[in-house]
Amino acid sequence: MSADFIQLLVGGILLGGIYGLAAFGLSITFGVLNVLNLAHGDFLMLGSLLSYGLFVWLGINPFVAAILVIPAFMVLGVGFYLLLLKPIADKPPHQLLVASILVTLGASLFIEDITAYFWERPVTGISYTLPPMEVAGVVISSTRLLVLLFIFALACAMQLYLKKTFVGKSIRAIVQGREGAKVVGIPISRVSALAFSIGMALAASAGAFYVTLFTVTPVMGIPLTIKYLCVVVLGGLGSIVGSVFGGLILGVAETLTAYYCGAEWAPTIAFVLLILILIVRPEGLFGAKK
């Protein structure tokens, strides 16, 4: 275990935490609405750009920005739901699938193209660093550690919200069975709107951390959504703990691939993992067997 390897591992876990947080949001929206939101990665991108803007123009610290983007994107999420997803929510399954892919993919292309027009050059991260610290002979950037703590806290808060509060319980009830939830009097449409906005806020919040570490480009949305898909399938469909673990696995795998095989091979690992898990264990690591 050389110091290099531990550095890599820390970097991978951090990236994985970001993936996990965003994939968690994707998993919630899919569970509640039965719609796979192909524009999810674009919300991470928008969250990154907003947080970058806040930092550059107003000098707001990225950790505060990660909190600030949450309400902003929840409002945006409700708007997105009401405008694009509510009209198609009650269609029969096959039509819902086709309509949802068309609508979310279209929205994704629209967001990317418009953003790319106004934001020509890629944003190369926020230069926000705290003094590094040394643990057992390994130098670890304390910014990274703090980001990791933040993500962990956010995931825990999310889990508590879903398990303990009434609204959280009704979200889980809808995930388990839409019809049953309707029968016991849960207002499906309102809770769906809330769940969708939470999913979007998580993606945007993950984006605020993403920009502190990596380069952000307007066209990164769809590749990112594909990575979240890999994470969600890896962890098991509908499992929240699973999506966090899936994220960690993908993050570490990507960092190691980039180091040992060259950075140009890193984008392939997500797909290789996806294919592998589909062959070996299609229900995912934490998913229940059908």
CB neighbour class for 109 (10 Å; exposed up to 12, middle 13-18, buried from 19) = middle
Cβ 23 to other proteins shortest distance, Å: 12
Give dist(CA 242, CA 246) in Å, integer. 6
Comparing C-alpha atoms, which of 176, 166, 160 is closest to residue 239? 176
Pick out residues in 112-131 that bind other proteins (CB under 8 A). Answer: 112-114, 117
Cα distance from N-terminal residue to C-terminal residue, the chain:
40
For other proteins, the closer CB: 5 or 110: 110
Q: Pattern 28-67, binding to other proteins, x per CB under 8 A?
A: --x----xx-x-----------------------------
Going residue by residue from 236 to 255, which x/- string records binding to other proteins, judged by CB under 8 A?
Answer: -x------------------
Helix (H) or strand (E) holding 138: strand 138-140
Site for other proteins in 152-171 (CB under 8 A): none
User: 156 vs 263, which CB is nearer to other proteins?
Assistant: 263
C-alpha 82, offset from chain centre: 21
Nearer to other proteins among residue 72 and residue 96 (C-beta) = 96
Task: State in angstroms the smallest separation of the CB of 263 from other proteins.
Answer: 11
Residues 79-118, interacting with other proteins (CB under 8 A): 84, 87-88, 91-92, 94-95, 97-103, 105-114, 117
Residue range at the interface with other proteins (CB under 8 A); choices 119-127, 141-149, 221-229, 248-256: 221-229
> 10 Å Cβ neighbour count for 152?
14
Torsion angles phi and psi, residue 120, rounded to 5: -70, -50
Question: What is the spatial distance between Cα 144 and Cα 251, in angstroms, rounded to a whole number?
Answer: 14
For 24-93, what is the HEC assignment?
HHHHHHHHHHCCCCCCHHHHHHHHHHHHHHHHHHHCCCHHHHHHHHHHHHHHHHHHHHHHHHHHHCCCCH
Q: How far is the CB of 73 from other proteins (least distance, A)?
A: 20
Q: Is residue 257 involved in binding other proteins (CB under 8 A)? A: no
Of 8 and 97, which CB lies nearer to other proteins in the complex structure?
97
Identify the burial level of 60 via C-beta atoms within 10 angstroms of its C-beta, where 0-12 means exposed, 13-18 middle and 19 or more buried: middle
At position 82, the amino acid (one-letter code) is L
Query: Which residue number, 129 or 268, has a Cβ lying nearer to other proteins?
Result: 268
Contact positions vs other proteins (CB under 8 A): 30, 35-36, 38, 84, 87-88, 91-92, 94-95, 97-103, 105-114, 117, 222-223, 225-226, 229-230, 233, 237, 264-265, 267-268, 270-271, 274-275, 278-279, 282
